[in-house]
Amino acid sequence: MALLTGKRTIVTGASRGIGKAIVERFAAEGATVLAAARHKPAELPAGVSWRDCDVAKRSDIDALVAQAHQDFGGIDVLVNNAGMLVGKTLVDMTDEEWEQQQAVNVRSVFQACRAAIPIMIAGGGGAIVNLGSISGQTADYGMAAYNATKAAVHLLTKSIAIDHGPQGIRCNAVCPGWIKTDMLEDNFKLFPDPAAAEAAAARLHPVRRLGLPSDIAAMAAWLASDEATFVTGQLFTVDGGILSRSPAAPD
């Protein structure tokens, strides 16, 4: 039997990168998936349904959860993957840019969980997988707001696990490191030699490569599965060992 057979699942931020990989892995593992983002991808895995959703809008989140409840008859898994980054220091950042990151990265997680948890409880329980980041554990230059939002997701994850564990809800977060997504590729393009910049970044990792969206999807799938029923309130760092590396360590 596949790892997620019959699991009725919502995935936000599902159009590309990590979210797309999560949808593909969950579908391959037998889950019934309602995927959501602002822009529908050209192709979806067989059996995956879609809803346009701007997670910065509470009405969109409520409608997404309501559709999953109506179409599936319940919700077993919620994956809060949607996120955004504005790379600026606090001094350079506008109020609007700060609020936008809070809305997408934090408030959407709160609102999606608030809407889905009662449905999960009524169905006997469920699993929530939030996407945190190593950027919520250590600070990055020019990413103050993003760092703050991911740290908030980490503690919200633990709080949900404590508050609703007795009602059958498990909540964990995956904390990706440097993953080869469009966002990271755009960062490398800022260097005179993008290929050299990417190679240098890979050398910083003990595994000598950057992460792939599928690496994160694999962890998310396990956390959502019945193999992880004693796992809750945890932050799972998936970073190729880069946070374990001393700054003084040789390349």
User: Does residue 31 sit in the same domain as residue 120?
Assistant: yes
pLDDT (0 to 100) of residue 250: 67
Q: In this predicted model, what pLDDT tens digit does every residue of 138-176 receive, in sequence order?
A: 998 889 999 999 999 999 999 999 999 999 999 999 999
Residue 169 falls within a domain, yes or no? yes
Residue 129 falls within a domain, yes or no? yes
Grade residue 248 by pLDDT with cuts at 50, 70 and 90.
low
- Per-residue pLDDT for 249 more than 80? no
User: Does residue 106 sit in the same domain as residue 205?
Assistant: no
pLDDT (0 to 100) of residue 213: 97
User: Does residue 109 sit in the same domain as residue 160?
Assistant: yes
198 is in which domain, residue-wise? 180-210
> Mean pLDDT for the chain?
95
User: Any idea what the CATH number is for the domain that residue 138 is in?
Assistant: 3.40.50.720
Q: In this predicted model, what pLDDT tens digit does every residue of 38-57 receive, in sequence order?
A: 999 989 998 899 999 999 99
Q: In this predicted model, what pLDDT tens digit does every residue of 198-222 receive, in sequence order?
A: 898 899 899 999 999 999 999 999 9
| From 146, 188, 222, 236, the catalytic residue | 146
164 and 205 Cβ atoms separated by less than 8 Å: no
User: Does residue 161 sit in the same domain as residue 198?
Assistant: no
pLDDT (0 to 100) of residue 234: 98
Output the CA–CA distances (angstroms, integers) from residue 219 to 21, 43, 73, in the order listed. 11, 23, 26
Residue 242 falls within a domain, yes or no? no
- Rounded to the nearest angstrom, the gap between the alpha carbon of residue 156 and the centroid of all alpha carbons in its chain is 13
Residue 112 falls within a domain, yes or no? yes
User: Does residue 51 sit in the same domain as residue 68?
Assistant: yes
Q: Annotated catalytic, 141?
A: no
User: Does residue 186 sit in the same domain as residue 73?
Assistant: no
Q: What percent of the chain has pLDDT over 70?
A: 98
Residue 205 falls within a domain, yes or no? yes
Residue 246 falls within a domain, yes or no? no
User: Does residue 233 sit in the same domain as residue 128?
Assistant: yes
Q: How many domains does the chain have?
A: 2
User: Does residue 122 sit in the same domain as residue 199?
Assistant: no
pLDDT (0 to 100) of residue 191: 83
Residue 120 falls within a domain, yes or no? yes
- Per-residue pLDDT for 122 more than 70? yes
User: Does residue 159 sit in the same domain as residue 232?
Assistant: yes
Indicate the residue type of 154.
H
pLDDT (0 to 100) of residue 183: 76
pLDDT (0 to 100) of residue 190: 73
User: Does residue 78 sit in the same domain as residue 99?
Assistant: yes
Q: In this predicted model, what pLDDT tens digit does every residue of 67-83 receive, in sequence order?
A: 999 999 999 999 999 99
User: Does residue 139 sit in the same domain as residue 193?
Assistant: no
pLDDT (0 to 100) of residue 111: 98
Residue 250 falls within a domain, yes or no? no
User: Does residue 71 sit in the same domain as residue 189?
Assistant: no
- Per-residue pLDDT for 246 more than 80? no
